[in-house]
Amino acid sequence: MSISRITTGLKNKSFSATEITRQALDFAGRENPKTNAWLLLAHESALASAARVDEQIAAGHDPGPLAGVTVAVKDVILTKGIRTTCGSKILGEFIPPYSATAIDRIEAAGGIILGKTNCDEFAMGSSNENSAFGPVRNPVALDRVPGGSSGGSAAAVAQNTAIVSLGSDTGGSVRQPASFCGVVGVTPTYGRVSRYGLVAYASSLDHIAPFARSVRDAATLLEVIAGRDPLDSTSAGAAVPNYAAHLDGNVRGLKLGVPVEYMKHATGETADLIHKAIRDLEDLGCEIREISLPATDYAVAAYYIIATAEASSNLARFDGARYGTRATESGTLGEMYRNTRGQGFGAEVKRRIMLGTYVLSHGYYDAYYVKAQKVRTLITRDFTRAFESVDAIVAPVSPFPAFKLGEKVNDPMEMYLSDIYTITGSLAGIPCMSVPCGNTSEGLPVGLQILCNHFQESKMFRLADAYEQR
């Protein structure tokens, strides 16, 4: 069901929020063994939220724009009283004492937090194979990965076990799994949504970001969670438009840029589907132009320096003293830190903490970290220049569709390269999204990426919706 069918059904008393929540919990519980998308279903609190919605309706109050809508939440987002693991053993049975602002806003809008979803440990990965709780399987093809790091949130929506979900995107973790699972995934402008309560991976790149089965539902969810939050000093004060109201299908005359640097490596069926999507956009009246984003080639390298540098600092808080589990049998304080981290963090997280510590260390800081920040500025300038002549950029999300479980786990470089088209938008902090644009001959979904200038989510949604409705 779509969000509007649910809110209308509640209004017409076709069903109650409690009924649909109960059904959703049962269905998600039954389906989960297939994919391992859910780490926890929050039976009690979900039913309590549903009861509140039903009471409001009975009392004649407006229950909110997400009334009765079930929401899956990536397990890197804090939920008060509900275990939050970040896909890591180091947090163990950590129960947050407060919720992320995005969660509070969803609940205030009548949304039902159904539970927490599996992900790569601390959102580090591209296939969901780095979770301490086992990989997620792609509901479209169970022998394949759902993408990462928000694989569980993408799979939950693709599997119909939640209406919408929240993921987090640092370098592509919402767009890439959306593309692999055939759903819509939206990375808003950096600062558009408060990061308060999102466990930090790389703070200057982290976003809370929605998944949905349609552009309209994603726009509705973003509108609820967006906007200034005094608890996050990087959250933006810009007014939040009524995104869904602007989905009027009018895209005639929009100028779309196709970056040569993205298309030159695109081959096979992914490239064919992207070319077809571009032709469809032309049929809708858009003007297509070739553009160049020359700094693209350096994006992956710059990202893995900046992201790991920030991660090495952010993850220092997991020391066994403050949160989650602590290694026993330690003599000194130093041993306790080492043992806790040694046992608690997985291999990829350790690799990134070491890399990040190295690039920040005296003697290497200028050679790596400062250089990477300069590249980041060049990438941002590429986009600024491009948006002087085009309204939006269209490109692939990933060079390939969902790959087989285990296919790339032993080659971190190959895995890192799978973010090649998503990382640039993240480094520039611009809004970008993935919208399904067809399936390969094997039935694997492919996503079209749409990127716009800062705070132009309305235009991005209008284009994506017109394309979806074509």
Which of 123, 145, 186, 212: binder of ligand GLN (CB under 6 A)? 123
Q: By C-beta, is 200 or 295 nearer to ligand GLN?
A: 200
The amino acid at residue 307 is A
- Long-range contacts from 53-61, C-beta under 8 angstroms, 24+ separation: 53/10, 53/17, 53/110, 53/112, 54/16, 54/17, 54/18, 56/110, 57/10, 57/11, 57/16, 57/17
By CB under 6 A, name the one of 117, 149, 194, 312 that touches ligand GLN: 149
Q: Which of 171, 177, 431, 438 is the binder for ligand GLN (CB under 6 A)?
A: 171
Q: How near is the Cβ of 194 to ligand GLN at its closest, in Å?
A: 17
* Runs of H (alpha helix) within 315-456: 333-344, 347-360, 371-389, 412-417, 423-428
Instruction: Report the SS3 class of residue 241.
Output: coil
Q: How far apart are CA 293 and CA 278, in angstroms?
A: 18
Catalytic member of 149, 153, 418, 458: 149
Q: What is the nearest approach in angstroms of ligand GLN to the Cβ of residue 186?
A: 13
> Which one of 99, 173, 179, 398 is the catalytic residue?
173
Kindly write down the DSSP assignment for every residue of 285-300, as one continuous string.
TPEEEEE--GGGGGHH
According to the binding rule CB under 6 A, does residue 146 interact with ligand GLN?
A: no
Cβ distance to ligand GLN smaller for residue 74 or 216:
74
Stretch that binds ligand GLN, among 169-177, 313-321, 368-376, 455-463 (CB under 6 A): 169-177
Which residue, 207 or 326, has its beta carbon nearer to ligand GLN? 207
**Interface positions, 325-384, toward ligand GLN (CB under 6 A):** none
Contact 153, 45 (CB under 8 A): no
Is residue 74 part of the annotated active site? The answer reads yes
Backbone angles phi, psi at 100, to 5 degrees: -60, 150
Per CB under 6 A, the segment of 44-52, 162-170, 271-279, 430-438 that binds ligand GLN is: 162-170
Interacting residues of 155 by C-beta distance below 8 A, sequence separation 6+ = 35, 37, 117, 136, 137, 138, 139, 146, 177, 181
- Selected binder of ligand GLN within 110, 111, 172, 324 (CB under 6 A): 172
Determine whether 149 is an active site residue. yes
Q: Which is nearer to ligand GLN, 56 or 203 (CB)?
A: 203
Per CB under 6 A, residues contacting ligand GLN are: 123-126, 149, 168-173, 201, 307, 419
Q: Which residues are catalytic?
A: 74, 149, 173
